[in-house]
Amino acid sequence: MNGNPLPLESTIYAAIVLLLAAWFHWRWKHRYFLDLAGKLPGPPSYPFFGTTSMFTHSYDETIAKLKENAEQYNYEPVGTWIGPIHYVSVVKPEDIQIVLNNSRALEKGQLYSFLKSLLGEGLLTASVDRWRKHRRIISYAFNVKFLEQLYPVFNEKNKILVENLRKNVDSTQPFDLWDYIISTTFDTICQTAMDYRINEKHNKTEFLDLMTTIADQLVKTVNRPYLYPSVTFSVYKFLSGLGTKLHMINRLPLQLIDEKRIDFRAKMKTSKSNPPEEFPIETKNKFKTFIDTLLEASENDPDFTDANVRDEVITMMFAGSDTNATTECFCLLMLAMHQDIQDEVYDEIYNVVGDSDREMTPEDTTNLVYLEQVIKETLRMYPIISVFTRQLAEDIRVSNYVLPRGASVTISPIVTHHCPHLYPNPGVFNPENFSVENVAKRHKYSYIAFSGGPRGCIGMKYAMISMKLMVSEILRNFSVHTTVKLQDVKIKMNDAFTRKVGGYPITVQPRDRRPSYVRCNTRVA
């Protein structure tokens, strides 16, 4: 041996030196950012690894850690690192309002970049410039007049759901609501948004299962910083089979788009060859659907591509069905647990429609005030998206700190919704939290189930109408029951949304259509 280092040792030394040099160069280049980030309170952080306490094994643990940090640091912004990404958790409603309404905080964060593999650049995941353009095009399909046209579809799908649930009447064996509800919300969104009927020729179950599997797999990558680079993520997609699943899930949306494009072009051809006065009144009065709006944009705007149409369609199919289904399942489970609240909801329904079987109208849903409180309380306790992020393009000053440009701000509805100074006894299901008087006492951004600001949920009105109609239709026909206790409810993050561990087990009984006070008096007599 001549005493010279071995080639392997030399390589290791060189790698260490290069790594340290890169690290110090990065710190020097980002010294302003690091200075501001260092002024934020938060748990200890370590080079390369970040804040190790934030690496948890389960969704429950992550939420518990976010709540713990909020309490420990007196609900001030808390800084943490996951690998090279700096996250600032914001909890106070005043701070949340500043972030969500700031034009320099409209970009979505790392969580959404992974979802782009599934959803492309639809409204949920799009960059700011694309989001502005798409929202301007799509907002037409969510105006109140258009939504009122959808009531016959909602009512039709809900009656089918009731008949499907009827097979479980009087059974003492609990069944899981999920499959019934998700099937209905998916059929409904396809027909209301795309004027497309899902039937036996479509493999709906395969699509929904793939959607859940893919989104769940993508969400789990957030806590794996080594997958952030596009190269390593591409390798992961190949080795894990995720790439194959992403290819398979496109079949149904692409089939839907092809069929609707043929219909759309036929309608356009007809409209050009016939004067408007020759169209039937029902055709002239019919609003454009969501898919018509997209196809019209793709025909008239070369920058609105077929890929853009696909991204918005699959985003609508995903977000429009899963979010509603989850809330409806939680809501019905809460009503099954709280029979007194269920009675009050039914009494309100009875006061609106009596014991008739007539279809619900827009005026009816407006009058279901207490039911809306129940749905909002459900979303307070179990918000669909428990954590969302915004990427800061500039420094933002909140109440007591400056949040640095380049940070990812995390906002957790489930943490803010469980702050005891905002909601007394936050672990108790109490629809009175959303009475007019109690809402007036709180900051507007104390409730962020639908996010807020310019990038708030575009489908909020659609969601509330459809949920009111489904829950009321079920309660008009059945009473719901469960042996599950509130303290036993555990939640998980599945396919990017909050879900209950173990499903939503209930039993149903035929509804005694008399109001509760009459039933009570009858029992006393």
Query: Which residue numbers belong to the known binding site for heme?
Result: 457
Burial class (CB in 10 A: 0-12, 13-18, 19+), 239: exposed
Distance CA 440, CA 364 (A): 24
In 3D space, the residue among 373, 422, 436 whose CA is nearest the CA of residue 70 turns out to be 422
Which residues of 223-351 form beta strands (DSSP E)? none
**Helix 128-138 vs helix 306-337: crossing angle, to nearest 10:** 80
Q: Nearest 5°: CA angle at 405, between 45 and 22?
A: 55
Q: Which two tokens stand for residue 167?
A: 């097979």
Q: Are 497 and 323 in contact (CB under 8 A)?
A: yes
Burial class (CB in 10 A: 0-12, 13-18, 19+), 192: buried
CA distances from 510 to 170, 171, 513, 518 (A): 8, 11, 9, 17
Counts for the chain of helices (H) and strands (E), in that order: 23, 11
Q: Which of helix, strand or coil describes residue 143?
A: coil
Q: Are 469 and 148 in contact (CB under 8 A)?
A: no
DSSP designation for 169: B
Q: Are 197 and 220 in contact (CB under 8 A)?
A: no
Q: Are 151 and 466 in contact (CB under 8 A)?
A: no
Residue set of the binding site? 457
The long-range contacts involving 228-233, CB below 8 angstroms and separated by at least 24 positions, are 228/83, 228/84, 228/85, 228/110, 233/114
Q: Which two tokens stand for residue 89?
A: 């958790």
Q: How far is CA 181 from the centre of its chain?
A: 16
DSSP 450-488: TB-STTS-TTHHHHHHHHHHHHHHHHHHEEEE----GGG
Distance CA 474, CA 453 (A): 33
Farthest-apart Cα atoms in the chain, separation = 106
